[in-house]
Structure formats: C-alpha cells, structure tokens
Amino acid sequence: MLRKVVVIDDESPARKLLKEYLAEYADLVVVGEAANGVDALRLIADHEPEIIFLDVQMPGLSGLEVLARLDTLPLVIFSTAYDQYALEAFELHAVDYLLKPYSRARFARAIERIAGRTASEQPNVARLAQHLRDETTRYPDRIMVPRANKYVALPVSNILCIQAEGDYSTIVTGEQQFLSQYSLKETEARLDPEIFLRIHRSTIINRYAIREIFREGHGYDIVLTNGELLRASRSYAPVVKRILF
C-alpha cells in the first residue's frame, strides 16, 4: 500500500537528500515539500500524509510549533542539525530522530521503524503535541521585538495595532514601530484573541486601544488612542459587533 509523505525542512539540500533517499522506497510517495512551518501546515491539510519528515528549527514556525497546530498527527520522523534539542526527554525515539548529517544506512533504520506502523502507535508524540497546545494557550504578557541589531522586551499591552507588511508584520505602539519576522497570520496566532482582533485582512487591533467606533456603510471606522483611523472591512464587521454593547 502506498503511503503519502511530506518533507519539511528550511534547507533545500536537506529536502533534496531526503527525496533522494525516499526514492528507493516504492511504497513511499512524496506528495509535497515545504521550507517553513506555515507552508507545511497547508501541505499537511491538503494532502493528509501518513508520514512527515520534520525539521525542528525553521523560520516562522518551528517543527514543534507545527506539531502543536495539527489536529490529526501523521507518523513523525524528526531531523535536526542541533543535538541540544533534548527530544529524548519526550521519548520521541519511539518514532525516530535523525541528527544531521545522517547516512543512508541511518535513514534506512528510520524507515524500518515506521514500517507497518500507524500514527496512533506514537503516543509519545501525541503527548508532546498536546503539551505544546497547552503551552501555546497561555498567551505572553511580553514579547521580544527587533530593534537594530538586538531584541527588546515589549509589554503586549503597549501594542495598539499590527499591520501586514508583505510576508512580515509591523507592530505599532504609541511611540514606535517594530518590523516582525512573522506574518500577520502567524502573529495573530501568538496573541490572545480576546484582546487582539482582526478587523481587516491586513490589520489587527488591541481592543483596549480603541477610542471610538463609527458605523460606516457595512463596516466600521475605528479610532485608536493615538488618533489613528483604521477601517474594519465588511467581512470582519461581526468581530467588531462582538465588543459592542
């Protein structure tokens, strides 16, 4: 029986090597590859693979953060160049954990470990995923944001709004702006949805930074405490209605 595989690694040579090794197994079919966690989630949702090869450290969402966002877990084989990730603490060797660089023989042993197994037979990974989901529900009071060549602590309560900036996002406070490495969607997932409201496909606001709201056609105009006027689009009007009394 054919089993679908997704390869997830931010390094192109690593993905190429995995596909080369996987080509030797007729029952394993690579249905997609991703260089970051966001694309990985999309691929997994689209293809529902039985197996994923998952890098631990990636830009945007890490491999562990990808796991935390999956409702249904495939079989997981981790790979990383950094042995300081003590995944053994979660007994993840029950699936497998490839330390780069690994040989063809070591890869073959990983394949042997998943032969005939199903995702339900990896309870340790399931426990890790649940642990990570529990952790991510505790939203931070402070975040680290970039300034020049360093990162500084920013109280989340100081954020007025967050706006899309291509693949990145701009975090706006009363006095400063910070360009985040995360997209608006990724940033939204990291903040408390009861406080930070998406009012437009390119804008998130802090509900406690609202000074006034004006009804405008099928949408709303929102004035923040710094005087900035932002438009809540028609499709996000229900979000604004939720906070009206």
Domain span at residue 81 reads: 3-136
User: Rounded to whole angstroms, how far apart are CA atoms 24 and 3?
Assistant: 14
Same domain, 126 and 75: yes
Last residue of a domain, one of 94, 114, 136: 136
Q: How buried is residue 228: exposed, middle or buried, by Cβ count under 10 Å (0-12/13-18/19+)?
A: middle
Please check the confidence at residue 225 and state whether its pLDDT lies above 80. Answer: yes
Domain count, the chain: 2
Q: What's the confidence (pLDDT) of residue 53?
A: 94
Distance of CA 102 to the CA centre of its chain: 26
Please check the confidence at residue 89 and state whether its pLDDT lies above 50. Answer: no
Last residue of a domain, one of 136, 166, 199: 136
CATH number, domain with residue 167: 2.40.50.1020
Q: What's the confidence (pLDDT) of residue 52?
A: 93
Contacts of 126 (CB under 8 A, 6+ apart): 73
CATH number, domain with residue 109: 3.40.50.2300
Confidence of residue 144 (pLDDT cuts 50, 70, 90): confident
Same domain, 91 and 174: no
Last residue of a domain, one of 136, 170, 199: 136
Please check the confidence at residue 113 and state whether its pLDDT lies above 90. Answer: no
